[in-house]
Amino acid sequence: MLLALMIAMMLAMLDNMIVGTAMPTIVGDLGGLEHLSWVVTGYTLATAASTPVWGKLGDMYGRKGAFLTSIVIFLIGSALSGMAQDMGQLIGFRAVQGLGAGGLMVGVMAIIGDLIPPRERGKYQGMMAGVMALAMIGGPLVGGTITDNWGWRWAFYINLPLGAVALALVTAVLHLPRKRSQAGIDYLGVVLLTVGITSIVLVTTWGGTEYAWTSARIMELIGIGVAALVGFVFWQTRAAEPVLPLHIFRSRNFTLMSVIGFITGFVMFGATLFLPLYQQAVQGASATNSGLLLLPMLGAMLVTSMVAGRVTTNSGKYKVFPIAGGVLMIVGMYLLSLMDTGTTRLTSGIYMAVVGAGMGCLMQITMLVAQNSVEMKDMGVASSSATLFRTLGSSFGVAIMGALFNHRVQDVMAERAGALGKNITEKSAQLDAKSLQKLPAAAREAYQHAVSSGTHSAFVLGAGIAVLVLIAALFVKEVPLKGGPKAPAEGADPAPQAVVEVV
């Protein structure tokens, strides 16, 4: 059963990594360069918007059915994407794929939340962190290999055999109680939340790139998003079966974990975006090697996540890990901001390991505490909310840190290389390795200084934002985890353990 859940989790996390490597080949085959960003944006929008819905459907009608449905939709989207004949079809099919992907991660987390008592759940953190690290490192390598040897369409088709295995295992092995809610689906809530989330993601995706931050289009999206989310909150207090029941936010720990998850996504995805860029432009690493050079960060994340899980399982104590994670993230991001054109790979590897250790203390603990803070009937919406906040955090992190990076690179290039530097970065502040080698020596040196300065600004911002993790962690109340190898904590719900015994 656990194998099936890990495969499904791998599908959700690996897809964008593989497809990202194949994008240049896809554009060369299908054309439509001007719509390239929508291949990723369409998938991200559909994933973010559907995440809370999948969580609620699992709560209302049963986890197994919702999880199997999400896998099937993801596989249909994968097959259709592989058969796309133009960029418009690919974008639409990627959106279908994203709808299914929204239920994969939530389904894994919620099912584990149903089957495993929180006190025992820490044992599985290392496995989840390992899958994440494997996806982040292996995704670009697998994507490049598949594209070079089999063609870009297999970047999507590769999901089919893996998904079939997950479907078969989940169907045969996973046994969960069936549910049937008498209440209908909160369609108005779904629409309002979808519009709000879509507007937020589009603002963070388009702002500073497609449109100026002060442009009419961005202002319109901000207005629509705010109005939709305000309307959503108002409606959730009146809906018979709200898609995101607001009472779960009455738990201080759940609210704090949502904040910590948002900031963790902000910092983590910002770091993983700019570190390979720095390694390629400044340290001279190839695209493939830049992924491997992230191993110190991902290895440290894996080790600390396993240690945190084991300690939490044995002691039932967890507050120390969000605090330690906040401190390590602040220190690690500050150290990364010190990197310049003379920083060695060993030094940058040590700095990355500090950041990775901080992430390892936070990644799964936030989900564990969020799930421990709600009743069993709200396990799905708790899992989906935690996942959604991390996803939104990553969107904001990539957008805001990216805008700061691009602005700084363009300024430094204009200062150091004059009109030539301005022309080089006029359309994009990020150059690939081939483009960088074609530059004159003076311009190339100026670009290396510019990238170093840009990453400095982005990482300083990350360190400042990470301070909020530490502040939030200090207010976490250490509520005893339900279940455990010994006697359950007073007031603990024994239902999760009963489910495990039935399975």
- Tokens for 154, please give them: 């297999």
- Tokens for 82, please give them: 């592989």
Query: Among all chains, which residue has been given the structure tokens 């432009």?
Result: 281
Asked if 17 and 131 touch (Cβ cutoff 8 Å), the reply is no
For the stretch 251-301, pLDDT in tens is: 999 999 999 999 998 888 777 778 877 887 788 776 666 667 778 888 888
Element (H, E) at 195: helix 187-206
Pick from 190, 269, 272: nearest CA to 231:
190
The reported pTM is 0.79
Query: Among all chains, which residue has been given the structure tokens 């483009």?
Result: 435
DSSP, residue by residue, 110-145: HHHHHHS-HHHHGGGHHHHHHHHHHHHHHHHHHHHH
What was the pLDDT predicted at 134?
Answer: 74
| pLDDT, one tens digit for every residue, the chain (503 residues) | 677 788 887 877 777 777 766 776 777 777 766 666 677 778 888 888 888 888 888 888 888 888 899 999 999 999 999 998 888 888 899 989 989 988 888 888 888 877 777 767 766 766 776 777 777 767 777 777 787 788 888 888 988 998 898 888 888 887 776 666 556 778 898 899 889 988 888 888 788 777 888 899 999 999 999 999 999 999 988 888 888 888 889 899 999 999 999 999 888 877 777 887 788 778 877 666 666 777 888 888 888 888 888 888 788 888 999 999 999 999 999 999 999 888 888 999 999 999 999 998 888 788 888 888 888 888 888 888 888 888 888 878 877 888 788 788 878 887 876 655 555 555 445 555 556 666 667 777 888 888 888 889 999 999 999 999 999 999 999 888 765 544 443 344 444 433 333 23
For the stretch 56-88, pLDDT in tens is: 888 888 888 888 999 999 999 999 999 988 888
**Which letter, b or e, does each residue of 407-437 get, where b requires 16 or more Cβ atoms within 10 Å of its Cβ?**
ebbbbbbbebbeeebeebbeeebbbeeeebe
Element (H, E) at 239: none
For all residues of the chain together, what is the average pLDDT?
Answer: 81
Sign of CA dihedral 460, 464, 467, 472: negative
Report the first-to-last Cα separation within the chain, whole angstroms: 10
Pick from 374, 386, 369, 326: nearest CA to 477:
369
Pick from 45, 53, 10: nearest CA to 383:
53
User: CB under 8 Å to 201, separation ≥6 — which residues?
Assistant: 41, 44, 45, 48, 392, 395
DSSP, residue by residue, 358-400: HHHHHHHHHHHHHHHTS-GGGHHHHHHHHHHHHHHHHHHHHHH
Pick from 426, 390, 495: nearest CA to 102:
390
User: CB under 8 Å to 310, separation ≥6 — which residues?
Assistant: 122, 123, 126
Sign of CA dihedral 60, 64, 68, 74: positive
What was the pLDDT predicted at 483?
Answer: 59
